[in-house]
Structure 1
Amino acid sequence: MKGKTLAWALTAGLASFSMAHTAQAADDKFVTIGTGGQTGVYYVAGQSICRFVNRDSKRHGIKCNAPASGGGVANVNGIRSGEFNFGIMQSDHQYKAMKGLPPFDKEGPMEDERAVFSLQSEVFTILARRDAHIANFDDLKGKRVNVGNPGSGQRDTLEEIMAVKGWKKSDFALAAELKPAEQASALGDNNIDAMTYFVGHPNGAIQEATTTVDAVLIPVTGPAIDKLLAEKTYFTKADIPGGVYTGNENPTPSIGGKAVLTTSAKVSPDVVYEVVKSVFDNFDRFKKLHPAFHDLTEKDMISVGLTAPLHEGAVRYYKERGWM
């Protein structure tokens, strides 16, 4: 009898422990942020956001992870499918997804898309081997160019430029589809003549490339670019600062936009609130995690580059701080 009583007590105790453990697990909220390639600023941004969210997870019960992903277009699709709760993307991709414009026209308008805050400025960047004799965008014709992996911001932006210029991929001797992490070595090994990137500066992949091979940044200017800027207001004129990369001492003009953290209206306001709070309550520390964050300001982050409505959880925090 005592044995049965002991066994029952042990079973009940284990059941209670299991139920308590399950209840605790149910209380935990797991959020995933879609980022980009590991050499890019998106990846650093996602990792940095999660760093501050996870520091306070005992209080709010949220655990955050930010895996590498295919980039902005892939992050839009990841939010839409539920693979990601948040995603970092170009401001133009946020706009296109909201309106259901290419490359999101097949899925239709993403009416539940919501902005959280903007991040660093980004510039469409072309880096070419000096011995490829590429001085401007038109010189890319007949060259071996990495157009970027499908789903990346660089690929989508390049295709917009090609469309306004009336170009096709066949205008290149090679249209490589390398991921960001593969570009620098391909340029250094003379497998491509030029690489493209839509990214904040300074960038690790471009630093790597310019220290391993004599390479130059290529200006993206001209009448076709002016036409693109007039038609696509989510792009602006932008410069890559001079002196950031070896052998490139002068500013390089191009087009750009903002990186934006985006989510869905389906994500809990409490979760979005805590993610926003984690960043802005640690803002000075956050800005030190990458040189591209150095010039960020709270005022710009909650207004500039946001082409979708703000999520109500973000609005709650901004109103508490007296910013809205």
Structure 2
Amino acid sequence: MKPTAGLLAIGLTSLFLWSSPPAQGDESLTIGTASPAGVYHLAGRAICRVIDIPCTAESSEGSSANLRALREGELQVALAQSDIHFYAANGSEAFREIGPDSDLRSVFSLHSEPFTLVVRRDAGIEGFDDLVQRSVNIGNPGSGQRGTMLRLMDARGWSRSSFRLVNDLPADQQSMELCHGNIDAMVYTVGHPNASVAQAIRLCNAALIDVQGDAIDLLVEAYPFFSRAWIAGGLYGPDQPPVRTFGVRATLVASADTDPDHIYRLVAGVFDNFQRFKAYHPAFGMLTPEAMIRDGLTAPLHEGALRYYREQGWITDEAMTAKLAH
């Protein structure tokens, strides 16, 4: 077994052994995550493991679906990409028809999620522009990876007809489609290392490709939720070079109606057990409280989260507090 595969196995095994901490008389929390193959689901389970409220990490169709379920009262807490978070808070893009979600609240942000292009080595794809007239999986409706891909397609002036074939598969199915030769490339907005990406590279002789160019430059300059990102070399084997791309952040959000005491206890559980939480996945290794309460957050901070951050002295400027709270 390669060292990276062992690292992933250890992280996955520790999370699959998870069970909710007992807490008598408390209502339970359900955290909407995404595909079981991605880091969101592992992040949700890690949060559940360090808090003192009965908690379930529920797989879902992804960021957009989570934010709609949160708005409709079907979820109390959810994970969402920072770009989809922005769209929901402002009533733009896929949320234009239903308008801004004035009850959406930020809790904290998590890991960086590089936009990841994985291709079959025999497909002749050396850059993002080479996807034209290829078979590509852009992600299932409601997923963050699909939202980012559609934004990039718009910036490039592409439509679905720009590709030979477009698949709408969820993340946990796309690597095997690549292995079977049904698609030439798959895109994934995800923290690394990731088990699905590792599977594609290990079983399908796939490769990671840089995502750069004028269209990406324009996106990073135009939108506050995008930033430059990179995937470290060697994560998926000794011959895997560093990859330059762009990306978003994972964010944890809640409804304003979610019990402030529950959100306070969730936040306290994560930050009071911070080193333990970060150990659950390598993508969490670079997290800091300073960045987590600032980066990628569009909606105001939830009342329960804000209470904890004030107690820690992390938010002390009154003008900043008023801006975040209102």
TM-score tier, shorter chain, comes to 0.7 to 0.9
The equivalent position to 1:146 in structure 2, one of 122, 137, 141, is 137
User: What is the aligned counterpart of 2:184 among 163, 187, 193?
Assistant: 193
Does residue 281 (structure 1) correspond to residue 279 (structure 2)? The answer is: no
AA of the residue aligned to 1:48: A
Distance 1:184 1:247 in 2: 20
Does the aligned pair in 2 maintain the 1:144–1:193 contact within 8 Å?
A: yes
Note the alpha carbon deviations across 1:60-112, whole angstroms, 9 max, x for none.
xx321111111111111111111111111111111111100011111110011
Are residue 114 (structure 1) and residue 105 (structure 2) matched?
yes
What corresponds to 1:78 in structure 2? Answer: 69
Count residues with an aligned counterpart: 293
Encode CA deviations 1:197-231: one digit per residue, 9 max, x unaligned. Answer: 00011111001110001111121111121122222
Q: In the alignment, does 2:304 pair up with 1:306? A: no
| Aligned partners of 2:145 and 2:187 also within 8 Å | yes
Query: Take 1:205 and 1:123, find their aligned partners in 2: how far apart are those partners?
Result: 14
Q: Answer yes or no: is the 8 Å Cα contact 1:216–1:247 preserved in 2.
A: no
Preserved CA contact (<8 Å) 2:225 2:249: no
1:321 and 2:299 correspond: no
Letter in 2 for 1:98: A
The 8 Å contact of residues 215 and 247 in structure 1, kept in 2 or not, is answered as no
Aligned-partner residue type, residue 179 of structure 1: P
Structure 1 runs of 4+ off > 6 angstroms? Answer: none
The 1:139–1:248 alpha-carbon spacing in structure 2 relative to 1, beyond 3 Å, is: farther
Give the TM-score of the pair, scaled to structure 1: 0.88
Matched residue type, 2:130: D
| CA gap 1:247/1:160 in 2 versus in 1, 3 angstroms | farther
- Match of 1:270, as an amino acid? D
**In structure 1, what is the equivalent of residue 31 of structure 2?**
33
CA offset at residue 254 of structure 1?
1.1
Aligned to 1:19: none
Quote how far apart the aligned CAs of 1:27 are. 4.1
- Counterpart CA distance in 1 for 2:37 and 2:167 is 18
* 1:15-60 CA distance string (max 9 Å, x none): xxxxxxxxxx99431211110111100000001111122xx3xxxx
Of residues 256, 261, 269 in structure 2, which corresponds to 1:270? Answer: 261
| Preserved contact between residue 32 and residue 86 of structure 1 (Cα < 8 Å) | yes
Map 1:210-229; keep pairs closer than 5 Å: 210-229=201-220
Q: CA RMSD in A?
A: 1.4
2:47 to 46, 49, 60: 49
Shift of the 247–133 alpha-carbon distance from structure 1 to 2, 3 Å rule, reads farther
- In structure 1, what is the equivalent of residue 149 of structure 2? 158
Q: Which residue of 1 aligns with 2:242?
A: 251
Does residue 242 in structure 1 map to residue 233 in structure 2?
Answer: yes
Tell me, in whole angstroms, the C-alpha distance in 1 between the residues paired with 2:109 and 2:173.
Answer: 27
Q: CA deviation at 1:242?
A: 1.2
Shift of 1:306: 1.3
Aligned to 2:12: none
Query: For residue 210 of structure 2, what is the amino acid of its counterpart?
Result: P
Q: Which has the larger radius of gyration?
A: 1
Question: What is the letter of the counterpart of residue 305 of structure 2?
Answer: A
Q: Equivalent residue for 1:4?
A: none
Separation of aligned partners in 2, 1:234 and 1:292: 18
User: 1:216 touches 1:248 (CA, 8 Å); kept in 2?
Assistant: no
**Separation of aligned partners in 2, 1:224 and 1:319:** 40
Question: Which sits farther off after the overlay, 299-308 or 147-156?
Answer: 299-308
Output one character per residue of 1:115-137: Cα deviation in whole Å (capped at 9) or x when no partner: 00111111111100000000011
